[in-house]
C-alpha cells in the first residue's frame, strides 16, 4: 500500500529528475551568469568612458589608445597636419601627425621650427669627443659614450611665454634608463636650465642643472625649491611608448612662472618656478641625451617647433 498520495509521488519523481540533471544545469547557469557579468562589465566600462569623455573632453577619450605600445609605422609619419587637410581626429599622437587633442593642433607651422631635413639648422653639429650631434636622415641625432652622464646642444632661440614640442625617437639599442628630452628656460652661456624628458623604460623626468653636465649633477625637480641632486627620480606613465625605436612627442608650455608638461598631446604634470630662479624669467632651448650604458646610447629628434604668446 502506498504511503504517499499519487500527486505527491509525481512531485517526488520530478524532484528526482531535477536532482539527476542538476550538475549540468548548474554548470550551464554558471556559464550564463558569467557571460552576463562580463556583458554588464563591458557596458559599464563603455558608459564610464563616455562619461569621462563628456567630462574632460577629447583627452580622456585617448586614454585607451595611450596604453597601446605598438609603434607607429615610419612611412605613416612623414606629413604633419600643418601641411595637410586630412582628418586626424583618430590619429595616435607620438608620430609627426598631430592628434586632434594635441595642444598645438591647428596652430600652423610655429614661429620657429626645425624639420631637420637639411644638413644644418638651429641646433649645432658636433663630431668631437664622447658626445656627437649631427643632422642626418631627416632628424637631429645625438650619441654619447659616457655612462651616467648627460649631454645637450643649445639653440639660439630665447622665449618667455611659449609652447614648444619635439618628436623623440628612442635609440635602436636603448636600455630602460637611457633618457632624452629638452632643456628649457636655459642659459646657454652658463650651460644650465630646466629639463623635461622621457626614458626608454616609459618614464618621464623633470629636472634642473646648474653647470655643464660633466661638472655637476642633474637634479630632480620635485616642485618649488625642492631639488634632489643625489637621485634622479623618474615617473612611470602609460602614455609613453617605451623600448628601442619607440616614438613620442614631448610638449612644454611656459607662461610666466607656471610650466605645464605634455606627453603625446596629453597633459601629465606641472611646476611653479620659484621667483628667485633665473629660469623664472625667460631662457633658451636645448635637446639632450642622458645615458645609463657605455657604448650604445643614442636618440633622434624631429619636428621641433616653438609658438610664442603674450
At 11 the pLDDT is 39
At 209 the pLDDT is 87
As beta bridge partners, residue 253 has 163, 260
Higher-pLDDT residue of 231, 75: 231
For residue 261, which phi and psi values (nearest 5 degrees)?
-120, 140
All 3 cell numbers of residue 9?
509521488
At 61 the pLDDT is 36
Residue 188: alpha-carbon gap to chain centroid: 27
At 49 the pLDDT is 43
For residue 116, which phi and psi values (nearest 5 degrees)?
60, 25
Residue 213 pLDDT more than 90?
A: no
At 83 the pLDDT is 37
C-alpha span between 3 and 95 (Å, rounded) = 84
| Residue among 233, 231, 224, 273 at smallest CA distance from 252 | 273
Residue 26 pLDDT more than 50?
A: no
Residue 224 pLDDT more than 90?
A: no
DSSP 52-103: HHHHHTHHHHTHHHHT--PPPPGGGSS--GGG-----TTPPBTBSSPPTTST
Residue 295: alpha-carbon gap to chain centroid: 26
At 244 the pLDDT is 96
Average pLDDT, the chain: 76
| Residue among 156, 155, 134, 154 at smallest CA distance from 144 | 134
Higher-pLDDT residue of 100, 20: 100
For the ranges 28-37, 185-194, 212-221, which has the lowest average pLDDT? 28-37
Q: In the predicted model, what is the mean pLDDT of residues 288-307?
A: 95
At 229 the pLDDT is 80
At 228 the pLDDT is 82
Q: In the predicted model, what is the mean pLDDT of residues 18-31?
A: 45
Q: What percent of the chain is modeled with pLDDT above 70?
A: 67
Amino acid at each position: 500500500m502506498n504511503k504517499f498520495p499519487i500527486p505527491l509521488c509525481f512531485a517526488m519523481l520530478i524532484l528526482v529528475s531535477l536532482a539527476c540533471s542538476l550538475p549540468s544545469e548548474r554548470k550551464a547557469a554558471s556559464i550564463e551568469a558569467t557571460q552576463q557579468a562580463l556583458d554588464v562589465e563591458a557596458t559599464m566600462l563603455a558608459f564610464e568612458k563616455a562619461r569621462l569623455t563628456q567630462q574632460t573632453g577629447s583627452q580622456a577619450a585617448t586614454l585607451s589608445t595611450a596604453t597601446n605600445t605598438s609603434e607607429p609605422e615610419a612611412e605613416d609619419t612623414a606629413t604633419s597636419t600643418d601641411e595637410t587637410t586630412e582628418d586626424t581626429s583618430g590619429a595616435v599622437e607620438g608620430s609627426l601627425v598631430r592628434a586632434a587633442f594635441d595642444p598645438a593642433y591647428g596652430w600652423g607651422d610655429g614661429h620657429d621650427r626645425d624639420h631637420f631635413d637639411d644638413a644644418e639648422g638651429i641646433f649645432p653639429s658636433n663630431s668631437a669627443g664622447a658626445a656627437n650631434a649631427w643632422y642626418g636622415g631627416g632628424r637631429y641625432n645625438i650619441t654619447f659614450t659616457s655612462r651616467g652622464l648627460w649631454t645637450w646642444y643649445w639653440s639660439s632661440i630665447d622665449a618667455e611665454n611659449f609652447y614648444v614640442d619635439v618628436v623623440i625617437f628612442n635609440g635602436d639599442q636603448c636600455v630602460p634608463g637611457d633618457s632624452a628630452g629638452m632643456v628649457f628656460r636655459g642659459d646657454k652661456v652658463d650651460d644650465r636650465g630646466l629639463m623635461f624628458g622621457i626614458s626608454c623604460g616609459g618614464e618621464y623626468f623633470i629636472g634642473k642643472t646648474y653647470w655643464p653636465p660633466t661638472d655637476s649633477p642633474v637634479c630632480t625637480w620635485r616642485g618649488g625649491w625642492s631639488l634632489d641632486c643625489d637621485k634622479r627620480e623618474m615617473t612611470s606613465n602609460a602614455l609613453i611608448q617605451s623600448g628601442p625605436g619607440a616614438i613620442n612627442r614631448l610638449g612644454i608650455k611656459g607662461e610666466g612662472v607656471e610650466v605645464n608638461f605634455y606627453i603625446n598631446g596629453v597633459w601629465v604634470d606641472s611646476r611653479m618656478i620659484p621667483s628667485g630662479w633665473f629660469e623664472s624669467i625667460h631662457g633658451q632651448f636645448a635637446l639632450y641625451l642622458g645615458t645609463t650604458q657605455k657604448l650604445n646610447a643614442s636618440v633622434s629628434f624631429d619636428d621641433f617647433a616653438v609658438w610664442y604668446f603674450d
